[in-house]
Amino acid sequence: MKDSDIKLFVEDYLEHLEIELNRTPDTIENYRHYINRFLKWSKIKSLEQVDIDLVKGYRKYLNRLEDEKGSTLKKNTQNYHIIVLRSFLKFLAKRDIKTLAAEKIEVGKASQREVDFLSFEEVDRILKVAQGNDLKSLRDRAILELLFSSGLRVSELTATNRNQINLKNQEFSVRGKGGKIRIVFVSDTAKDAVERYLDKRRDIDEALFARLPKKGMIENAGSLRLTPRSIQRIVKFYAKKAGIVKNVHPHMLRHSFATDLLANGADIRSVQSMLGHSSITTTQIYTHVTNRQLRDIHKKFHRKKKA
């Protein structure tokens, strides 16, 4: 087997992710990066050279790897490298390629993720500074309201078209990770913000959220659809304007959406469904909310004398 053969298997695997498993382009690029990192480190000439000792050495390498700032990889990131390698080996096994059995590689126990979220008061401050009746202000307010109202991923938000959203019923469907379709809901304030924005729009671009045509620009030349990076800049701008010192990003509004629901009594299964999580384990990262509620109950009722 030559180096070129290994590269062909990698490309076949990435096509498998795209076509058969319907993974997103970002996910596929991440998998490519992790597999290439393993191949570059190991310098193997044949997939038969992959054995348990090689994997142990790779784990040690990942654990000691530092970036340009001298920071090491988080345990979860290290585990993700190994998960991708296992997935690749499983793919090879199904094609009868002689290599290490994926089942022989154990994935380390991941540390519990901590979630950064905004309090309701912080979200309210951000929304209040996004004021104005010009098209840009109306658009930005609608973006912020909808992110917090629906718990959308930023990629889902930018992919949404005008004809998808039903403001009368205050709901619409989105295609999330793995191509799974779910229903998301629009609050009263988000509905009002989106309606005001769309009423002001004069272009015919299909995107729900669009760039503002520049002066002298040919009317509707090319797509005006906002990118995830554009949404990120918008969210950061208003968070800074509101005096929020946290590193605010669009996904934080998704976290805040889930946190707000749980804090107000929503059950975790319903939140899982609204977020589009395939596993309840993923949704359980938000248990910091219920833990805080338990603490408050303990403080309120523990060692209190009856009147």
DSSP 8-state symbol, 79: H
The last residue of one of the domains, among 47, 79, 104, is 104
Active-site residue flag, 69: no
Tell me if 273 sits within 8 A of 286, measured CB to CB. no
Q: Confirm whether pTM is higher than 0.85.
A: no
Active-site residue flag, 23: no
Active-site residue flag, 34: no
Beta-carbon-side half-sphere exposure of residue 148 (alpha carbons within 13 Å): 27
Active-site residue flag, 201: no
Catalytic member of 23, 139, 254, 255? 254
Q: Are residues 154 and 272 in the same domain?
A: yes
> Which residue range forms the structural domain that includes residue 43?
3-104
Model pLDDT for residues 57-116, shown as the tens digit of each residue? 999 999 998 877 788 888 888 888 999 999 999 999 999 999 999 999 988 665 555 667
- For 53, the token pair is 């000792």
Q: Are residues 264 and 156 in the same domain?
A: yes
Residue 243 banded pLDDT, cuts 50, 70, 90: very high
Q: Are residues 162 and 189 in the same domain?
A: yes
Could you give the CA distance from residue 58 to residue 73 in angstroms, rounded to a whole number?
13
Q: Is residue 109 assigned to a domain? A: no
User: pLDDT at position 189, please?
Assistant: 94
Could you tell me if residue 187 is left (phi over 0), alpha (psi between -120 and 50 degrees) or otherwise beta?
Answer: beta
Above 70 in pLDDT, residue 241? Answer: yes
Helix%, strand%, coil% for the chain, nearest 5: 60, 5, 35
Could you give the CA distance from residue 166 to residue 172 in angstroms, rounded to a whole number?
6
Active-site residue flag, 211: no
Active-site residue flag, 33: no
Catalytic member of 32, 177, 201, 225? 177
With a CB cutoff of 8 Å and minimum separation 6, the contacts of 138 are 132, 193, 196, 197, 200
CATH number at residue 277: 1.10.443.10
Catalytic member of 153, 191, 211, 255? 153
Model pLDDT for residues 116-156, shown as the tens digit of each residue? 788 888 999 999 999 999 999 999 999 999 999 998 999 99
Domain count, the chain: 2
